[in-house]
Structure 1
Amino acid sequence: MPVTEFAILPLKHPLTENSTSPPALLQKLQIAREVLEEASKYKFYYFQQIEDPSTMYIIGKWDSPEAHYTFLASPENQKLLELFKEDIYIEETNGKIMQMWHLDDDVFAVPSGAEWVFTAPVISCNRHFVLKENKPSFIEKFNEVRGLLEKYTKPYGVVGGWRIETEDEEKEEWVLFSGFESVDHHMEFAKTDGFVKYREIVGFVSAFELKHLRAVVGL
């Protein structure tokens, strides 16, 4: 089964909340997407974080992590790194650095009867950090309450996957994407009766990170 690439790109030139990306950067991103899609034979998409608009994301797909690693070592990728050296923190600077890992599932799959989550005006990216011993219980609980979230997010589906390259051998990471009409729409979920049951997953999570994404204007 193909795996999902999830990359976080901190920009050197911050964007204001309502701005679009500079034309030169958009052109470079388009070049990068063409190279990535040629190498992987799959589509790639760009998103911008709403909480911090200077943070961008790449979400794409590869046949395997190894196929992606082969590309990372290629001359084509080295040219991309050179192309973006003035735009992205490729090496760590003041705690900012480009990050990339893979999810063990295909988030491009569209659940039956739903719309693809990444077509929503706002996409929540929820990172759940789960102790290894709690993983089976977390999976069981999430499968039990998942329908409550899906009912609220309709017509958009809910997709996720486990991070393959973990940072802590004692923890696993579950990344979940769900679609909303706005950030406020997402926040209103916490006021519903369904959320009372859904939040039971918190008992199996050691830490949690929530960010909101939207498609990059112009791409």
Structure 2
Amino acid sequence: MPITEFALLRLKEKEPSPTTRSNLRDVIKEQSAWSKHPVNFVRQIEDPSLVYLLGGWASVAEHFGDWITSEPNQRLLAQLKGSIGIEWLFHLDIDPSLNSIPLNAPVLGISRYFVEASKKDEFDSIFKAGAPHLGEYTAPYSYAGGWRIDKEGEDEEFVLFSGWNKVEDHFGFADSDAFNEFGKIKGAIKGAEINHVHLEKWE
């Protein structure tokens, strides 16, 4: 099954220069042509210096073994070296060909849930039971989630993408009756990190 690349980048410029924007558009064009999957950048609302890359690959091996060392990628990295740094990069078991991440939403919530390995099945069960309540609240936008493939240590990580009209709607869900069932995941996690982003075209 194809997988989703999830990377966090940090802008070294307060606002990307025209050259940086052009280089980022080149990343979208060249990586998507190589991988045959769309590439999107989303910019964090809480800290606009942070930008996430979402892409797709047939496998981790195709990404790391073929693309990372390729001439086009090395050239793009060299062009962006002075303007962008890579904070981290890993992969999720979300099939990018399904277009399930709601990038059409005005605001995309990114929730990273950190789970002990022994509680992965418990988390899955709670999430499956509570997800329909989340879907009712995010409508007309959707949600998509997946487990981190290339882990660090023994713990698991589940990343949830949810679509919202505005950040306040996401916080409103946490205060709603619909959250009662979904909120049971708190008992199955070690911690969570929640941020919000919007799609960037770099025009």
Q: Give the TM-score taking structure 2 as reference length.
A: 0.94
Unmatched 5+ stretches in structure 2: none
1:38 corresponds to 2:33: yes
1:215 corresponds to 2:184: no
**Aligned partners of 2:173 and 2:67: how far apart in 1?**
40
Corresponding residue SS for 1:24: helix
* Counterpart for residue 180 of structure 1: 164
1:99 corresponds to 2:84: no
Query: Residue 94 of structure 2 aligns to which amino acid in structure 1?
Result: D
Aligned partner of 1:61 among 56, 64, 78:
56
* Counterpart for residue 121 of structure 2: 136
Deviations 1:81-120, CA, capped at 9 Å, x for gaps: 101011112xxxxxxx431111012255256xxxx61100
**Aligned partners of 1:217 and 1:74: how far apart in 2?**
24
**Aligned partners of 1:185 and 1:119: how far apart in 2?**
16
Corresponding residue SS for 1:52: coil
* Counterpart for residue 6 of structure 2: 6
1:125 corresponds to 2:110: yes
**Aligned partners of 1:162 and 1:72: how far apart in 2?**
22
Unmatched 5+ stretches in structure 1: 16-20, 90-96
User: Could you tell me whether the CA contact under 8 Å between 2:109 and 2:195 is conserved in 1?
Assistant: yes
**Aligned partners of 1:4 and 1:110: how far apart in 2?**
10
Write 1 or 2 for the structure with the bigger share of strand: 2
**Aligned partners of 1:39 and 1:3: how far apart in 2?**
15
Aligned partner of 1:88 among 68, 74, 84:
84
Alignment of 1:67-86 (within 5 A): 67-69=62-64, 70-86=66-82
1:148 corresponds to 2:137: no
Corresponding residue SS for 2:81: coil
**Aligned partners of 1:218 and 1:71: how far apart in 2?**
22
Deviation of 1:208 (Å): 0.4
Closer, same or farther: CA 160–107 of 1 in aligned 2, 3 Å: farther
Deviation of 1:39 (Å): 1.1
Closer, same or farther: CA 205–118 of 1 in aligned 2, 3 Å: same
Measured on the aligned residues, the alpha-carbon RMSD in Å equals 1.5
Aligned partner of 1:193 among 173, 177, 183:
177
Query: Is 134-143 or 5-14 further displaced after alignment?
Result: 5-14
**Aligned partners of 2:168 and 2:69: how far apart in 1?**
42
Query: Residue 87 of structure 1 aligns to which amino acid in structure 2?
Result: S
Runs of 4+ in 1 over 3 A off after TM superposition: none
Deviation of 1:50 (Å): 0.4
